[in-house]
Amino acid sequence: MLTLKEFLAAKKREIWTVSSDTTLYKTLKFMAKKNIGAVPVTEKGKLVGIFSERDLVRKVTSLKQILLSMNLPIKKLMTKKVHYLSPKNTVESCMNIMTSRRVRHLPILEKNKIIGIITIGDVVKHTIQEQKFILHKVLDSIEEGKNNLRMNIQFNLEQNVLPLLKTLAQKHPYDSYSFRLLEEQLNNISSEYYKKLISSKFNFTPTEISIIKLIKAHYREKEIAETLSISVSTVKKHKYAIRGKLGIRNKTGNIINYLNRIV
């Protein structure tokens, strides 16, 4: 999390204060010149209060008319109980205090010396920037996931399905048109099929996915082994793992029936 020390370093803003004896008129003129909504009040370099636009509205209207004067020292109008933070605090903690204490300005103190002030505008701006950053990260992650899915599907097509099609086409040359048509449509069919498998909760491996597809095509274990260039015992191990992930190791019934429920 971003600390206030890091935040202030990036902010690079001057620190403006007024002394406790500064008049209301001079304080307001100073605030207007610097275009700020609050200013820390100090005595001999020590923070003793803070004066804001809210203090002007709340406290001036509570004074008797005879006491209303632009020559009043600001210490008569300032908020004496000042909420503050240290440079080690985070922007998130700053936001929490502003929300719970209903304050819009928080001085940052280091060894009893003011090193900066954080406004609610600063916090809102930081929050918006952080949310934009998180949103970009999420969108990038989604896009990366899509790319990985495409690559996984393409890999399985190239390594498992297309070689199988070529083998079948060689065995049945009289029906080559059908195989070419099947090859053209395979990308669309496999895309949705693999998407369901890969995104399922069972976390099937690429080899298990290839075996599942051949099982659903009613291939026997020997035919699966020949198609994937693996041993029959390896096929059996993968089928055992698949049944375990499906939670049907101790159940009877054709595995295809269980696979049809998820893909």
Predicted pLDDT at 66: 46
Domain extents in the chain: 4-126, 135-259
Task: Please say if the pLDDT value at position 144 is more than 60.
Answer: yes
pLDDT tens, 16-46?
Answer: 899 999 999 999 999 999 999 899 999 888 8
Question: pLDDT digit string (tens) for 84-106?
Answer: 888 888 888 888 888 888 888 89
* 203 conformational bin, left if phi > 0, alpha if psi -120 to 50, beta if neither: left
Asked if 4 contacts 117 with a C-beta cutoff of 8 angstroms, the reply is no
Q: Which numeric CATH code is attached to 4-126?
A: 3.10.580.10
Interval 235-262: pLDDT, tens:
999 999 988 888 888 877 778 887 777 6
Stretch 114-137: mean pLDDT: 83
Q: What is the per-residue pLDDT for 203?
A: 79
What's the token pair of residue 57? 């509205």
Residue 120's closest CA among 139, 148, 100, 94?
A: 94
Nearest to 72 by CA among 85, 63, 84: 63
Average the pLDDT over 194-209 and give the result: 71
| Residue 261 structure tokens | 């429920």
- The confidence band for 192, taking pLDDT boundaries of 50, 70 and 90, is low
